[in-house]
Chains A and B, each alone.
Chain A
Amino acid sequence: MQSSLVEGIARVVAIDGRVAWLEPEQTTSCGGCASSGLCGAKGIGTTASRLEMRRFPLTNEPGLIIGERVVVGVDERALLKASGTAYALPLVVMLGAGLVAQWLAGSDAITMATMVIALGVGLAGARWGALSLGARGQLAPRFIRRASTDEFCRTELTKGAR
């Protein structure tokens, strides 16, 4: 079965030996909206400092230079697994524990305390799951091609781009 890649555009901001450091371009998921220039969501979380936090390394096999824009991709299934690990796992653990606590104790305060503890346990499980995914290299973006000057954040799938 062919895999699909989720593509995005990033800019090379530093070269460290054989590793290139990239920052994703400053876009929001709804950046294609006709009112994006006026939208309040655009100003939140898109400052340079936040982009720095999302800086990621890439092996510099293609010989990238600073300032170059490249198209990088992540396996579509890896994105879904990551979403499930980060969000679904803690929620399921928390809700399950809450239901059990409510059934056993029947008190709002006890249920609340149990759910907060279970959320912590779920987040620990998410950390373990993320480490497992990371160890298999599934979360690392891969180089696809250099971006053209007029190319902006792409959203279509690439079939069998591996």
Chain B
Amino acid sequence: MQDYVLLMIGAALVNNVILARFLGLCSFMGVTTRIDTAIGMGLATTFVITVSSMANWAVQVYLLEPYGLGYLRTVTFILVIAGAVQFTEMTVRKVSPPLFQMLGIYLPLITTNCAVLGVALLLVEGKMSFIAATLFAFASSIGYSLVMVIFAGLRERLALAEVPRLFAGPPIGFIVASLLALAFLGFSGMNTN
């Protein structure tokens, strides 16, 4: 159990998807203008990353590895991710049409989120068991959501701050993102091996 906890802390904080691996930067800058939007996108991405990673693990172990089809990994994973997004969308629509009307806007964006593919490829490199791979994917996406929400909170406060015109908007956003990345660099001092 301790191994799983360390694996999750490492994935969420030490090797954060956004600030350490630089994945999912489009949504990081595009969907963090408000905290509730960031939470909605973060939870949707968490669901899709976890479910698609489970499917990708099964495809890798039961299909690509036994038949020597490793060279098709990227294409296959993209297909699985698109399928996972469609599955999520259909499920949310079936479970509750009002929920789909409220939350459906985030789902198409996730298809093109490189963090989803990045986590799936990291699982293959790590050669993990199924439960470890799932927890790693879940923790990675929790780290992604955490950074999204923190950054959205900072940007909401920035909107009220008097920023010089030269830096207003995305420039000050990038500066704040770099400071946030420096703060997360502090977690790299933790020994999670």
Contacts and interface: CB of A to CB of B under 8 A. Distances in A.
A99 B41 contact: no
Interface string B105-140: 111110110000000000000000111001100100
Residue picked from A46, A83, A90, most chain B C-beta under 10 Å? A83
B131 A99 contact: yes
Interface of B: 4, 26-27, 29-31, 33-34, 36-37, 39-41, 43-44, 46-47, 50-51, 54, 58, 61, 91-93, 95-96, 98-109, 111-112, 129-131, 134-135, 138, 170
A45 B95 contact: no
A63 to B, nearest CB: 23
Interface string A104-141: 00001001100100010001001100110110000111
B95 A130 contact: yes
A121 to B, nearest CB: 13
A53 B103 contact: no
A115 B96 CA distance: 22
A87 B98 contact: no
A158 to B, nearest CB: 12
A56 B97 CA distance: 9
Rank and list the top 4 A-B pairs by shortest CB-CB distance, nearest first: A30-B30, A45-B108, A130-B96, A139-B98
